[in-house]
Structure 1
Amino acid sequence: MNDFGSFDYIIVGAGSAGCVLANRLTADGRHRVLVLEAGGRDWNPWIHVPLGYGKLFNDASVNWLYQTEPQQHLNGRRISQPRGKVLGGSSSINGLVYIRGQREDFDDWRDEGNPGWGYDDVLPYFKRAEDQQRGADDYHGVGGPQAVSDQTEPHELCDAFVAAGEQVGLPFNPDFNGASQEGVGYFQTTSRRGRRCSTATGYLKPARKRANLHVETRAMTTRLLLEGKRVVGVEFRDRAGQLRTARASREVLLSAGAINSPQLLMLSGIGSGQNLKRFELEVTHELPGVGEHLQDHAQVRTTYRCTRPITLNDDMASLWRQLWIGLRYVFLRKGPLTVSAGYGGAFYRTQPELTRPDVQVHFITFSTSKMGDALDPWSGFTASVCQLRPESRGSLRLASPDPYVAPLIDPNYFDTETDRRANVEGLRELRRIMAAPAMAAMIESEIEPGVNRTDDASLLEYCRERAASIYHPSSTARMGNGPLDVVDARLRVHGLAGVRVVDASIMPAVVSGNCNAAVVMIAEKAADMILEDARRPL
C-alpha cells in the first residue's frame, strides 16, 4: 500500500460542502489540505448550462444513480436518488433553486441542544457565502463565492401562476429567503449570467492555484484509519486502481453527503455493532445512530395540457424554435436554457392553524412522465407539491463491505398520517390555485392526477403511485446529544478525535425547502469552527 503523504486536513468529497471547506481552510496559507473526490472534473458542458440538469439525471459519469429500497408506502416502488459524482457534487447536477429554509428550522436545531445553530447564528454565514445580484440588505450579502440571481426573464405561464396564487389569497413574495417564506413568486437560482455556479466554480476553482491545496479526482475513499479513538487518515483507491493511504495531522472532514458519509463511517467500523457484524466488520467505535434518521423530501407532480403552444415542450418540438433557443442562449444568456428546476413557486399552509408553510410548489414550463425522461409530445407544464417537514424517518444501511456497492437507502416516505394528509391537502390547495381565473385560462385539461380523482382516498393513491424524491436526503449523521445522534454542535463525531462530518448528514431535521444553500452555510460555519480549533495546540 503506497503512502500518499501527510496533510493537516483531508476532506473526503469535493461536493457542495467539501469545496467550501477547501477554499476556506487554505485561504491563509497555513494549512496543507488534501481533497479526495470519487468523481472526475466538471468538464461535462451540460453541467454549466442551467437547464442541462435534465441531461444529468441518468448520466453515470457524473451521477451515482442511486435507488432507494422498495418503499412500503409507495406501492413497493424504488425511487431514484441521483447524487453528484463530480467536482461540485450535487451542486453540479441539481436544479439550481436557491432556498435557505425557514427561520424556525434553525431555531429548532438550536433548541434541540445545538448551541450556535439558531437563525441569528447562521444568517451571517448565508450572507458571507452569497453574491446576491440584487445587492446587500439585512438578509443578503454580496461578494461571496456563491452567485445568486433572478431568473433571466419572466414567462407568461409563470406570471399566470403568480397571479393565480394572489387570486386565492397568497401574498406575492419577491424574496423567499427574506423576512417571510410564505407566498407566491419567482425562485432565485445559483447561477450568474446564464451559467451554473456550483461550489466547484465559486469556491474550488479560485482556490486550486494555492500551493497548499491538493485535489485528487477519481479517488475513492474506502475507509478511515484509526489509532485507538483517533482518526489519523484515510485509505483510498486512486485513478489507477492502487490502494493508497494519506494521513491527517489535524482532522479528516467527511463531506461525502448524506449517503456516502455514513457509508464511509460504517465501512470504517463506526456505527451499530449489530449491523456491522453482519458483514464481519470490526467494530472500531460503537455509534448506533450512524445511518439512522434518514429524511428526504418527496414530491408529487401534477401535469396540465396548455391552451397555447408556449411551453418548452412546444419549443423542443420545433427545429426552428430549438435554433432560436440556442442562439438566445449563446448571444444573450437568456431563454429556456437558463431556467432552474423551479421557475416560479409557492409556499403555503395546508391547515389554517399552522404557523408557517408546510408545502412548497415548484412550477416549471414543461412536462415529462418523470424527471430525466423525454418531454411529452403535447403542450404541457408541471407543478409539484413538496411537503416541507416530513415526520417520516428512514435509514441507511450497508449492503456490502465493498465500498463500491451502493448502500441500502430507505427514506420510508409517507410513513405517518401527517405526511399522507399534508400531501393530499397540498394537492387540493394546488388545484385551487390552478382553478383561479389567471391560471384556468392557460389550462385545457388536467392530465395528472386527472379530474376523476377528487376524494381523499383516490388522491392518496395517486400520491402512492407517483410520488418521487425531490433529492434532499439528510440527517443520517445527525447533530445533537441524544443516544442516536452522531456529531456534536461543532460537528465532531461523538467519542472520536480527529474527525468531523460537514454536509447534509448533520441536519437534525431537513430544512423547509431546497437544501443546497443550507449545506453551503453548514460548511461556511464549520470552516470557522475548524480554524478556531486549529489555533489551539494539538
Structure 2
Amino acid sequence: MYDYVVVGAGSAGCVLADRLSRDPGTRVLLVEAGGTGRHPYLRIPKGVGKLFGDPAFSWHYRTRPLREGGSPEMWVRGKVLGGSSAVNGMVYNRGTRADWDSLAELGNAGWGWDEILPVFRAMEDNAFGATATRGAGGPLHVSGVRDPDPLCDELLATGARFGLRTVPDVNEEDGERIGYAMATIKAGQRFSAARAFLRRARSRPNLTVAHRTTALRVLCDGDRAVGVRVRTAEGHEEDVRARREVVLALGSLGTPRLLQLSGIGPAETLRQAGVDVRLDRPQVGARLREHRCLALRFRLNAPLGVNHRLATAAAQARTGAGYLLTRRGPLARPAYDVIGFLRTRPESARPDAEILLAPWSLGALTPGKPAGVEREPGVSACAMVLRPTSEGSLAITSADPDAGLDIDPGYWRSAYDREVGAALFRRLREFFATEPIASRIRRETFPGPGTGTDEEIIRSSLDGGYCGFHAIGTCAMGSAPDDVTDSRLKVRGVDHLRVVDASVLPVMVSGNLNGPVMALAWRAARFILDED
C-alpha cells in the first residue's frame, strides 16, 4: 500500500515524485512504462534525431491523415524515465504573464502569474543568475547556447534589423524579441526532468520507481479511486493501491487514454471500444490543441552552418568524437539555436507567433522515414501560432491498452489560426529577405517560391511542416460542471483522482511546454500536500 501512486515518469511525474516523497513518512510509487534511460544518446542534446525514431525510447502515436488525400503523421512522446524531457529539443520557455493570468480568468484560481512565477524561480538554476523574474540554485539547470555557430550571430543581427529586440534571455520579457534559445542543457549535456528531479529523489527509501510497468486502468471503489492495475515487465498483472491519491501524469495523449480505458470518458466512445461506462465525461479526450509548425528552408551561397558536420556518417563520427572530448560543438546545442517572438500583424496586442531558427537544414520529408541533414549548406526555420484555437480530439479504439488511438489533430480549423498562420509565414519570408542573412541566401528550397496564397501556405505546413509536440486540453481544468478537472486538478466525479500534466491546460501557454509542465507539477504538489 502506498500513499500516492503517480502514473507516468515524464516531466510532471518526476517533479511530483520528488516533491511528494520529501516527507519520509509518505510512501510514493512512480509507475513508468518505459526504461531507465541510460543510453548515451539520451545525454547528447542533438541525440534527439536518433531518439525520435527509435521505439525503444519513444512512443509513436499515429494520427488521422492531416488533410483529405494527405498522410497521417507520428506524434512522438518519451518512453523512458524523464518522458518527453529525455527526447525533446530542450528549448525552455515559461509562457507570459498574460498566458497564466488567462487561466485564472477562466475560473482557475491559483494559476495566475503571481502564483506561478515564484514556482519558476524556485525550480530554476539559470546559468545567467537570479533576477526578480528568474531563479538560480534550483534543481533544473537552464542555460543559453555555448559557442554558437557564426551563422547564428547573423540571424540575431537580422532580427535586430527586422525590428526585434535582441535579448540575452528570451524568457526575461514578453515583448517582440529574439535571442539564443534557453535550454535544459548543462555543460553540453541534456538535463531532463529525471536528471533534475528524480535522480536526487531515488535514494529515498519511501520512493519506489517501477519502470517497464504499464498502467492498464484506474481502480475504483464506488466513486473513489483506490489504485491502478499494472502490467509488469514480465507480463504479470498486479493491483497497486493508493491510500491517499492516484495521480495521472501521462501527458495529453496518455492520460485521457487511461481514463477512457478505466470507463471515464464519452459514453459512446467507450461502448464502441468495448469498455464499461463508469462515468460519462464527454470532454475526456476532447478540446485537444496542438502547435502546427510552418517550415521554411533555404540553400546558402557559401559554406556556412553545420550541415557539413552532420550530413554523412563520417562527418557525424568526427563531430561525435569532438563532442565526447569537449562537450561542445553542434551536438551540444538544442534543436534550434535562435528563438524569436513576434507580432504577425500591427493590430496584435502582443506577440502571437514564435520562430525557431537553426544553422542546418533537412532534406525532403518522407512519411514514415527519418529526415537526413542535407550535404549542401542550408538554414532552417519553423514557426508556430503561439495560442492556437483550433481543436481536435483523441479516443481509444479498443479495450486493449496496447491498441492505437484515434487522434484527430484538428489543425487549422479556426479562421484565427489560418489568418495568423499565413501572416506568420509571410513575416518569416520577410525576415530572410532582411540583411545580413538575405545576402547568404541562394534560394528557398521548401516550400518554394511558388507557395504564396493562404491555402498554399497552410497546405505546405500539413505536407511538410511539423507537429510541435505540445498537445494540451484533453483533460482541461475549469469551473464548468463538464470540465474534466477543477482548479486543483481533481477529476470531477471521482474522488482521490487527480491529473497533473499538459492535458489540464484549457488554453495554450505561449512557447514550448516542457518548462510550464514542470512548474505546473511543482504547484500541483503543493495543492496535494496542503490537502492531507
The match for 2:118 is 124
What secondary structure, in the 3-state scheme, does the structure 2 residue paired with 1:294 have?
coil
1:37 maps to: 32
Determine the C-alpha separation between the residues in 2 that align with 1:500 and 1:357: 33
- Distance verdict in 2 for CA 1:350–1:255, change over 3 Å: same
Shifted more, 370-379 versus 501-510: the winner is 370-379
1:497-518 CA-to-partner distances (Å, cap 9, x unmatched) read: 1110000010011211000000
Q: Secondary structure at the match of 1:293?
A: coil
Of 8, 20, 23, which residue of structure 2 is paired with 1:25? Answer: 20
Alpha-carbon shift at residue 262 of structure 1 (Å): 0.6
Q: In the TM superposition, what whole-angstrom CA distance separates every residue of 1:266-297 from its partner, at most 9, and x where no partner exists? A: 11111111221112322112222111100110
Q: Which amino acid in structure 2 is aligned with residue 519 of structure 1? A: V
Which ranges in structure 2 are unaligned for 5 or more consecutive residues? none
1:3 matched to which residue of 2? none
CA 1:324–1:465: 2 relative to 1, 3 Å: closer
Aligned to 2:492: 494
Q: Is the 8 A contact 1:75 1:465 kept in 2?
A: no
The one-letter amino acid of 1:30's match is G
- Report if the CA contact (8 A) 2:311-2:373 is conserved: no
Please, which of 141, 145, 165 is the counterpart of residue 147 of structure 1? Answer: 141
SS class of match (2:81): coil
Distance 1:176 1:377 in 2: 31
Shift of 1:241: 0.1
The alignment's TM-score, normalised by the length of structure 2, stands at 0.96
Count of residue pairs brought into register by the alignment: 528
- The structure 2 residue matched to 1:522, chosen from 517, 520, 523, is 520
Give the alignment's Cα RMSD to 1 decimal. Answer: 1.5
Alpha-carbon deviations, 1:37-78, whole Å to 9, x = none? 000111121111000001111100011111211224x75321
Q: Which deviates further from its counterpart, 517-526 or 276-285?
A: 276-285
Q: What one-letter code is carried by the residue in structure 2 that aligns with 1:46?
A: Y
In 2, Cα distance between the equivalents of 1:436 and 1:342?
A: 20
Partner of 1:347: 341
Q: 8 Å contact 1:80–1:468 — kept in the other structure? A: no
Contact 2:66 2:462 in 1 (8 A): no
Instruction: Indicate the residue corresponding to 1:158 in structure 2.
Output: 152
Unaligned runs of 5+ in 1: 1-5
| Alignment partners' CA distance in 1, 2:449 and 2:144 | 34
Judging changes above 3 Å, is the alpha-carbon distance between structure 1 residues 402 and 430 closer, same or farther for their aligned structure 2 residues?
same
Q: Quick check: 1:432 aligned with 2:430?
A: yes
* Residues 1:229 and 2:249 are matched in the alignment: no
CA distance in 1, matches of 2:74, 2:292: 11
1:331 aligns to what? 325
Q: Deviations over 1:157-210 (max 9, x none)?
A: 111111111112111132221122521111111010001010111111111110
1:96 lines up with 2:90 in the alignment: yes
- 1:259 is aligned, of 226, 235, 253, to 253
Which piece of structure 1 moves more, 49-58 or 444-453? 444-453
1:508 match? 506
The answer as to whether partners of 1:67 and 1:78 remain within 8 angstroms in 2 is: yes
TM-score, normalised via structure 1 length: 0.95
Q: How does 1:225-374 map to 2 (within 5 A)?
A: 225-317=219-311, 322=316, 324-368=318-362, 369-370=364-365, 372-374=370-372
Shift of 1:466: 2.1
Structure 1 residue identity aligned to 2:147:
E
Letter in 2 for 1:206: R
| SS of structure 1 residue aligned to 2:77 | coil
Residue number among 58, 67, 71 corresponding to 2:62 in the alignment: 67
Correspondence for 1:409: 407
Q: Which of 167, 171, 174 is the matching residue for 1:180? A: 174
Go from structure 1 to structure 2 and tell me whether the alpha carbon gap of 1:181 and 1:248 turns closer, same or farther (over 3 Å shift): farther
Amino acid at match of 2:405: P
1:233–1:342 CA distance, 2 compared to 1 (3 A): same
Q: Which position in structure 1 is the counterpart of 2:386? A: 388
Shift of 1:348: 0.6
Q: CA deviation at 1:345?
A: 1.6
Indicate whether 1:51 and 2:49 are aligned.
Answer: no
Give the C-alpha shift of residue 323 in structure 1: 5.4
Corresponding residue number in structure 1 for 2:475: 477
Tell me, in whole angstroms, the C-alpha distance in 2 between the residues paired with 1:449 and 1:284: 48
Flag the 1:43–1:181 CA change in 2: closer, same or farther, 3 A.
farther
In the alignment, the residues of structure 2 paired with residue 323 and residue 101 of structure 1 have an alpha-carbon distance, to the nearest angstrom, of: 37
CA distance in structure 2 between the partners assigned to 1:512 and 1:273 by the alignment: 33
Higher deviation after alignment, 403-412 or 216-225? 403-412
Write the letter of the residue equivalent to 1:432.
Answer: E
- Give, in whole Å, the separation in 2 of the partners of 1:235 and 1:319: 45
Distance 1:246 1:322, change over 3 A: closer
Query: Does the CA-based 8 Å contact 1:360-1:386 persist in structure 2?
Result: yes
Is residue 2:376 matched to residue 1:378? Answer: yes
Percent same amino acid at aligned positions?
A: 40
Corresponding residue for 1:109? 103
**In 2, are the aligned partners of 1:57 and 1:82 still within 8 Å (CA)?**
yes
SS of equivalent residue, structure 1 residue 101: coil
**1:454 Cα shift?**
3.1
Distance in 2 of aligned mates of 1:500 and 1:202: 23
Tell whether 2:199 aligns with 1:205.
yes
Distance (Å, rounded) in 1 between the aligned partners of 2:152 and 2:462: 28
